Amino acid sequence: MKVPFLDLSLQHRALREPALAALAATYDATRFCLGKDVEEFEKAFGATLGYPRVLGMNSGTSPLHIGCMLAGFGPGDEVIAPPFTFISTVWGVTYVGAKPRFVDVEEGTFNLDPAKIEAAITPRTKGIIVVHLFGQPARMDEIMAIARQHRLFVIEDCAQAVGANYRGRPVGLFGDLGTFSFYPTKNLGGCGEGGALVAQNEELFVRARHIRVHGSDRRYYHDIVGGNFRMDGFQGALLNVKLPHLARWTARRREIAGRYLAGIKLADVRLPDQPDYGQSVFHQFTIRHPRRDALREHLTRHEVGTDLIYPVPLHLQKCYANLGFGPGSFPVAEAAAKTCVSLPIFPELTDAQVDHVIASVNAF
Ligand SMILES: *Cc1c(COP(=O)(O)O)cnc(C)c1O
């Protein structure tokens, strides 16, 4: 039995007709940049997931970039972030001339370890970017207590955590801003690039809205420095078709994760922790094993698709060699990169496929 790591064609085949009808309507109305479809999506996304202020953008990297502009990070400033994440988490820090200051992650969840944050804080520290990696909420109470004490601006990178809850509240607004990605492989994926920013306070929200459109409230008058971060009308239209299915897709991801958690019984395997403070949306289901590469080859022989997410932590990427963090700087992240392998977990997997993954892992 073949189990692909991810097959986007199933979801898109099922939604083909409503998706193409929505695109046709947007096309006929020439609503290409922002416009009614995007406004409807912003409203529906906020109402469905619990965010009072939402801005649709052209990627998940853009709201992170804008967040760093809004926070006022700049040359000489340091921003705390985990090294075990997608690189985009910290691009914005670099774009505004500040420096990522990595802090190691927890072994059980791969998220920022609050116990290690204080030691990294210096007079130059201006903010923290928290990532809810693989859909699992980070320890926001502990992180926010440190942030308040040191007056740090907090951005939550929720690119992988749409719909995730921390102690019953949606992730994204524990800090100052939350950011989302609608890249096609994400839990709520568009048909192209997309993202969103959610803001806690009205003043930040209004500034973000102006930055999104060239720092402008009125055409050709630019009060602040901005850029072009607009969401396409087509993406708004498609996301309006997909959003009503998100709760069902998330429930199915949780069901599959439940089967993996109950069924995988392999010596030396480490399953992801399921702490009671956070309900994961299982963007990934990532396990660890000391003989990861051999396990992965074994799974390939059993026609189970896997991926290495992430093979190299950010502090060991060539583009960040200048930050001065060598091998050994963040041992938990480095061990994760060497031992983790992600299993298939998209909603359209059948139970038989999930059982085949479990049997194949257990047969290693
Ligand atoms: C996908 C992702 C992003 C960036 O989103 P894009 O839409 O690809 O720009 C940022 N952070 C994390 C953790 C991601 O997984």
Domains, the chain, with CATH or none: 8-103+110-244 (3.40.640.10), 246-362 (3.90.1150.10)
Q: Provide the pLDDT for residue 276.
A: 96
pLDDT, tens digit (0-9, with 9 covering 90-100), for 200-243: 899 999 999 999 999 999 999 999 999 999 999 999 999 999 99
Q: Provide the pLDDT for residue 54.
A: 98
Q: Provide the pLDDT for residue 260.
A: 98
Ligand 1: does its nearest atom lie under 6 Å from the Cβ of 41? no
Average pLDDT, stretch 119-138? 98
Distance 56 CA to ligand 1 centre (A): 14
Ligand 1: does its nearest atom lie under 6 Å from the Cβ of 340? no
Q: Provide the pLDDT for residue 28.
A: 98
Q: Provide the pLDDT for residue 142.
A: 98
Closest ligand 1 atom number to CA of residue 182: 7
Q: Provide the pLDDT for residue 229.
A: 98
Smallest CA separation from ligand 1 atom 6, residue: 60
Average pLDDT, stretch 55-68? 98
pLDDT, tens digit (0-9, with 9 covering 90-100), for 289-337: 999 999 999 999 999 999 999 999 999 999 999 999 999 999 999 999 9
Ligand 1: does its nearest atom lie under 6 Å from the Cβ of 131? yes
Ligand 1: does its nearest atom lie under 6 Å from the Cβ of 280? no
Closest ligand 1 atom number to CA of residue 133: 13
Q: Out of 99, 126, 186, 242, which one is annotated catalytic?
A: 186
Question: Is 2 known to be catalytic?
Answer: no
Distance 63 CA to ligand 1 centre (A): 10
Q: Provide the pLDDT for residue 196.
A: 98
Distance 160 CA to ligand 1 centre (A): 8
Q: Provide the pLDDT for residue 317.
A: 98
pLDDT, tens digit (0-9, with 9 covering 90-100), for 144-167: 999 999 999 999 999 999 999 999
Distance 230 CA to ligand 1 centre (A): 16
pLDDT, tens digit (0-9, with 9 covering 90-100), for 172-208: 999 999 999 999 999 999 999 999 999 989 999 999 9
Q: Provide the pLDDT for residue 198.
A: 98
Ligand 1: does its nearest atom lie under 6 Å from the Cβ of 88? yes
Percent of the chain exceeding pLDDT 70 equals 100
Average pLDDT, stretch 66-86? 98
Smallest CA separation from ligand 1 atom 11, residue: 89
Q: Provide the pLDDT for residue 239.
A: 98
pLDDT, tens digit (0-9, with 9 covering 90-100), for 265-301: 999 999 999 999 999 999 999 999 999 999 999 999 9
Which of 86, 133, 229 is the best mutation target for the ligand 1 pocket, counting ligand atoms within 8 Å of the beta carbon and taking the most?
Answer: 86
Distance 59 CA to ligand 1 centre (A): 8
Average pLDDT, stretch 15-41? 98
Q: Provide the pLDDT for residue 53.
A: 97
Look over the chain and give the mean of its residue pLDDT values, rounded to a whole number: 97
Average pLDDT, stretch 30-58? 97
Instruction: Name the residue type at position 178.
Output: G
Q: Provide the pLDDT for residue 105.
A: 98
Q: Provide the pLDDT for residue 296.
A: 98
Q: Provide the pLDDT for residue 33.
A: 97
Residue 147 Cα distances to 136, 144, 319, angstroms:
20, 5, 28
